[in-house]
Structure 1
């Protein structure tokens, strides 16, 4: 068989090489590290999926010796837990075929294509080979682990897997997890969606009571629904179940921190860091805890509570601790976009304005920022310009940049409010300042309040009749009506 003919057959296989997992969409080294941590800490019959994905990751790194070694482990692990079914081998054999193709070992590649076909022949005795939940489930799990931009695709895969195997604990856990993440990223959480998520998580916990991580996600969802005490029960049950599982500890710490149990959160996170010292995520979470303690101390100091000098010293210590862990987190995970805003804001608290500016500029220079990330950075950068550098002009520029980003994300409302306050202040300060009315018109236009926006732009044009920008916006609004 020629290489061209073989490639055509390889493209028909259902495996990591045909699932569209693109290297440019993720930090490959970070994924590899995370997968090795999963192998060390997770106790599951589904470790074969971790080895399988690692085999693909090693291909992306052009390390084919390690790629085959991981696929060997995947096959061994799979055979030891297969319970007589060969469905789980399909993806492994597909990956083998692709790796041997890249090694120019065409006969071995063909051999594994034949193995895939033989498994399909066996399956025809029992089920339609097009509807294999093991393939859909593993695809969903791989997409979930690769990058958040694949979450919607992962959700669809888990839905297909559950259509054929509705009682499977792993696919129920995967489906509930991906829906949890999708809902948590939304700017405005819909009550119906949260109610549906709660059902999915409860079902996943019932089918898979040993899955402590899903149990913690259930606790966090209950906390979102203002049922904190009920959620705490699940979180503490999960912690008792797996006290040394780093992936669980991050969610437990998040629950504690949001509940105001900062010391408990710090205790849990320090355990997590002792287990995985190179986890940028855990260091970032520790920084958030010290930030919460700092804000609490500042509120106490502002209320005149306790000794002012002692409070001031403790506040500075907490700021430095937060900065240390935010910096450490970014050193370990340079792609954690939101951590840059947290670090820059903490530099502001320490009056280190040059470092704050450099941090904002550094993250804005990233070429692969998502729209919601850009919006958040511009909002915080605007605050920095307005309150620390006292540059109203630059603050307005950043708030407007944020609001011109399409979509409704969590910082949109805050940008609207900040810009509206600035506009109203300009108008109050100088009623003849056309720019104040124009800015107010811009906010109303973003809010789709066309009548109010038109009035503001008309007033701006009255004060500055030859301004083409004001006239253009006014015409656009009137034409839209």
Structure 2
């Protein structure tokens, strides 16, 4: 191929709508986890859009540098589309052909790359679409939304926007309604957020998705969980039972059913369902984490009941608590074996090591969690809060606890765990001042809290009090100077 033609390819490829132009970045996810997730979806998901799984897997193979498998998956995607649309002009081919063009370009097979661009142009011509128009297709927005939703949590907002555009073009499509409802549902609970009932938008979207696609058992389970969130668990139970009757051996459903049961306090039922699911997907980090949460919940339930146990039964009860703790640890460790970047499994494992009095393991796990790549602010704040509690209550190191709480407060993202760290610091500060009205550290902590919350005048007041009792403290002097410069 001539250099001029190669130059033309370089300018044309970025105009294609496919996985290579959707900013799916390897640094934002765990490629091994995505790969396994997609293979599981091939096995278990029943959908007319399974070609999307093959397209995304082809892109993942590109990220791994395995172009033989990338092409094999694109061939499978083509086959799946052809089974539904035999004439080869359907718009569903556009993403697959775009991926082909990019893969062959990376292989330096420029003529093959150009041939797929020609196929895209031919489909656009047959469908009377311009290059720009071809981007405004419901199936393309839907596939992009699904890919973003599958790739990582940081992309949920973008996925939601894609599904919105797909629905503007095709409002009654069951798949795009399910995708949109799922994206909104996940965003409402993303990273431990609590969505007030007055702001909850996913409920009506999930109901609509169930109405348009009554065979989608997974969406029914999400609706049940949302109703449970809104204190309407009895109403949600109906959807759980319907979903289980429809798909009793679908692991994607069973994990949500188990979550519903666990949150309802029905731990035995949750474990029964999770056993079925993990037998089908033994290397699922999500399922092992859920099993660990069940044992953790039972362990704390037994700890709370300990004071009511008769003296002669206490050893047996202690043994039961120990057994539940070990089982929780085992499954949290398995979750991290299969997904090394699973932030919440790190936190839960560290806390359970602490319960088992394996303090060095707990500390090492907290430290490892803080070194994970691509932590969101919310994740970092939750790790720091849990680590701070461990230092304060278990290791009795107030100075280390303060360090972690302060680091959390330096992150401006407002959420529950930042608030928890703020309250912990305020409690420690007020206790110090109550014990000694001349305690500079107590006043300094209050100054720090107000400074990081943007309350300049209150921060200045408390830093001045701190300096009254510790006049040469460089941190207080520096912060006070910064604050006065802001006025």
Give the TM-score taking structure 2 as reference length: 0.94
Given the alignment of the two structures, is residue 146 of structure 1 paired with residue 151 of structure 2, yes or no? Answer: yes
Q: Note the 1:81-480 alignment, pairs <5 A.
A: 81-82=84-85, 86-124=90-128, 128-185=133-190, 187-194=193-200, 196-304=201-309, 307-450=313-456, 452-477=458-483
Q: Is the 8 A contact 1:434 1:464 kept in 2?
A: yes
How far apart, CA to CA, are the structure 1 residues paired with 2:96 and 2:124?
A: 14
How far apart, CA to CA, are the structure 2 residues paired with 1:468 and 1:454?
A: 15
How many residue pairs get aligned? The number is 480
Deviates more, 1:438-447 or 1:330-339: 438-447
Q: C-alpha offsets along residues 33-61 of structure 1, whole Å, 9 cap, x if unaligned? A: 11110010111101010011111111222
Gaps of 5+ in 1: none
Gaps of 5+ in 2: none
Deviates more, 1:118-127 or 1:69-78: 118-127
How far apart, CA to CA, are the structure 2 residues paired with 1:277 and 1:135?
A: 33
- Paired position in structure 1 for 2:60: 57
CA apart distance, 1:480:
5.0
Change (3 A) 1:366 1:478: same
How far apart, CA to CA, are the structure 2 residues paired with 1:367 and 1:68?
A: 30
SS at match of 1:172: helix
Q: Is the 8 A contact 1:216 1:234 kept in 2?
A: yes
* Stretches (4+) displaced over 6 A: none
Q: C-alpha offsets along residues 317-365 of structure 1, whole Å, 9 cap, x if unaligned? A: 1111111111111111111011111101101101111111111111212
CA apart distance, 1:475:
4.9
SS at match of 1:411: helix
- Paired position in structure 2 for 1:71: 74
CA apart distance, 1:204:
0.8
Deviates more, 1:366-375 or 1:336-345: 366-375
Q: Is the 8 A contact 2:341 2:372 kept in 1?
A: no
RMSD over aligned Cα atoms: 2.0
